[in-house]
Amino acid sequence: MKRLIAYLFTFLFLGQAMAAEQGLFDRSGKYNVVVAVLAIIFVGLVIYLVRLDLKLRKFEEKE
């Protein structure tokens, strides 16, 4: 769980660092879309890994 929190903070700090940079995506308004898609993918992966961990714990307890 500590790793998950560390990864989350790392992701947030990287997002803030990228927001400081004024690039092509920011000028055209696509930057927010890219960040939103990456956030959705990241949240999906976190949910998948948490559910997988719970299933593995239940499986290990049965044996």
Q: What's the pLDDT band for 47 if we cut at 50, 70, 90?
A: very high
pLDDT at 33 (0 to 100): 83
Q: What's the pLDDT band for 24 if we cut at 50, 70, 90?
A: low
pLDDT at 27 (0 to 100): 65
> Mean pLDDT, to the nearest integer, of 31-60?
91
Question: 48 or 24, which is more confident?
Answer: 48
CA–CA separation, 36 and 26 (whole Å): 13
pLDDT at 30 (0 to 100): 76
Q: HSE-up of 47 (CA within 13 Å, CB side)? A: 6
Cβ-contact 24, 15 below 8 angstroms: no
